[in-house]
Amino acid sequence: MSNKTTPRDNGDEYNTAAGWKKSSYSASNGHCVETSMLTNGQIGVRDSKAANGTILRFDPEAWVSFTAAVRTA
């Protein structure tokens, strides 16, 4: 299950100690996605160009399924 929300709607949930990490496949022109482990155990995904915008949230099981499917595509 995933859903999306904005950081302003969730306060401390997005204050992660690990911070946001850019994909190693990101272009050098700034068109990237970033991921972070959120304090509630979900994985957050955001557009690096809109860091204060919408964040997609994934349960760990959904994230594992998604990344496995992407690797085989």
Taking only the tens place, the pLDDT of each residue in 6-57 is 444 544 455 545 588 887 777 677 678 889 988 888 999 988 888 788 888 9
Whether 67 has a pLDDT exceeding 60, the answer reads yes
* Alpha-carbon gap, residue 9 to 72, rounded angstroms: 35
Tokens representing residue 58 in the block: 């994934």
pLDDT, residue 18, reads: 58
Q: Where in the chain are the domains?
A: 2-72
Helix (H, G, I), strand (E, B) or coil at 64: helix
pLDDT, residue 7, reads: 47
Report the amino acid identity of residue 21: K
